[in-house]
Amino acid sequence: MKKKIFSLFLSAMMATALFASSAMAEEAFNPDTETDTVPCDQLEEVYGPLSELELPEGITLGSILKNQANEFWLALGDGMTSAAEANGATIDIQATRTETDTAGQLSIAETMLQNEYSALVLSPLTNECLDSAVATAKEAGIPIVNANCEYVADADVFVGGLQIEIGHKAADYIADKIGGTGKVAIIEGVPGTFTSIQRVNGFNEQIANYPDVEVVASVPADYEMEKGMNVATDILTQNDDLAAIYCCNDNMALGAVEALRQAGKLGEVVVIGVDGTGDAYKSIHAGELNATVDQFPAMNGEVAVEVALRLLAGQEISRVVSTPIEVVDAENAEEFGK
């Protein structure tokens, strides 16, 4: 089996360019616009109870996350582990140290292909960085579930929240909190990544409905807290009358909160993040961060594993299984149990 996978990997590497050119000829997959979609809370209704399916013996799942330092990915991994254990499967979760190490993530994937996993659950750093490994796995008949954010065009199923909707919800929240008028800044994620692009595009699309709101800056900070603090500091220096900051994840939002604290403006500028991390909830309860767009990562991980198991049981699942997203602030944080 291992020799077969190595052989397939070499052929897949040579075929990658052909796959890319043919894919460009077709309409590109986008989970945010895909119509073959089912909400995760309808999986049992549409496909039946997981407990009634005949699963193979000795299921082993291999998973690659973006990193295991960001609390969001830790929670997603915990959800996957919980779901695997509850269904008698084992799961091996690996990750890169940073969300920019695309070569390192591909190297992990290539190594994991030797382990003969029953299925793979992948969260790529970019839409293309795992394509050659995915092609090898597909040739070997290994089901692939794409868990959250950046997408794998050739995965069997994408499981996650709709990223453009995150931007829409954040824009409406900010517009409401600042009374529909004022200067707003965006702190982006990793430049060029699908997640950051969609979250920013969604925000800009929706904020355009509020003509008295002006976006005065849109700067990346790589989803990192320290970079978020530094970017926010620079933006505040140039915009003394800033009304709000939209950050494309909670790490950067907490960095922005710290920048406001140091500038003596904490509480004067609305800040909203994305992901729903525990630290974001703590900051909301403390009256510092205004809100987060929660993606419920643990649930996302649980659903990704459920979908992998359904595929292994022979079910054909919709191309996208959407998971919920909600704006959470001090008014509704208790409702979500954090």
Residues 108 and 251 in one domain: no
Angle separating helix axes 297-312 and 71-86, nearest 10 degrees:
40
Residues 6 and 100 in one domain: yes
Q: Is the pLDDT of residue 22 over 90?
A: no
Q: Which of 256, 274, 294 is the C-terminal boundary of a domain?
A: 294
Mean pLDDT of 10-16: 38
| DSSP state at residue 41 | G
Whole-number pLDDT of residue 7: 44
Q: Residue 2: pLDDT band by 50, 70, 90 thresholds?
A: very low
Tokens of 131: 């394509």
Q: Residue 25: pLDDT band by 50, 70, 90 thresholds?
A: very low
Whole-number pLDDT of residue 208: 98
Give the whole-angstrom CA distance, residue 186 versus residue 257: 14
Residues 221 and 192 in one domain: yes
244 inside domain = yes
Mean pLDDT of 319-332: 96
Domain count, the chain: 2
Provide the residue type at 134 as one letter. Answer: V
Residues 283 and 304 in one domain: no
Residues 173 and 313 in one domain: no
138 inside domain = yes
pLDDT tens track for 234-264: 999 999 999 999 999 999 999 999 999 999 9
- Report which of 206, 214, 217, 205 is spatially closest to residue 181, judged by C-alpha positions: 214
Residues 203 and 189 in one domain: yes
Q: Is the pLDDT of residue 26 over 90?
A: no
Q: Residue 301: pLDDT band by 50, 70, 90 thresholds?
A: very high
- SS3 letters across 97-148: CCCCCHHHHHHHHHHHHHHCCCEEEECCCCCCCCHHHHHHHHHCCCCEEEEC
Name the more confident of 326 and 70: 326
Q: What is the overall mean pLDDT for the chain?
A: 91
Residues 138 and 198 in one domain: no
Q: Is the pLDDT of residue 17 over 50?
A: no
Tokens of 299: 């649930």
Whole-number pLDDT of residue 249: 96
Whole-number pLDDT of residue 336: 84
CATH code, domain with 212: 3.40.50.2300
Whole-number pLDDT of residue 71: 86
pLDDT tens track for 63-121: 999 988 888 899 999 999 999 999 999 999 999 988 889 999 999 999 999 999 999 99
Residues 52 and 139 in one domain: yes
- Report which of 335, 312, 9, 220 is spatially closest to residue 304, judged by C-alpha positions: 312
- How far, rounded to the nearest angstrom, does the alpha carbon of residue 211 sit from its chain's CA centroid? 30
Whole-number pLDDT of residue 27: 57
Whole-number pLDDT of residue 97: 87
pLDDT tens track for 46-62: 999 999 999 999 999 99
Domain range for 175 is: 163-294
Residues 287 and 197 in one domain: yes
Pairing of strands 291-294, 326-329: antiparallel
36 inside domain = yes
Least confident of 19-23, 34-38, 128-132, 285-289: 19-23
Residues 76 and 92 in one domain: yes
Q: Pinpoint the alpha helices (H) of the chain.
A: 2-25, 43-47, 71-86, 102-112, 131-139, 163-177, 194-207, 225-238, 250-262, 278-285, 297-312
Residues 154 and 76 in one domain: yes
Percent of the chain having pLDDT more than 90? 84
pLDDT tens track for 127-165: 999 999 999 999 999 999 999 888 889 999 999 999 999
156 inside domain = yes
Residues 130 and 174 in one domain: no
CB 267 within 8 A of CB 289: no
20 inside domain = no
Q: pTM to 2 decimals?
A: 0.83
Percent of the chain having pLDDT more than 70? 91
Listed in sequence order, the residues at least 6 apart from 312 whose beta carbon sits closer than 8 Å to its beta carbon are 55, 56, 59, 118, 119, 143
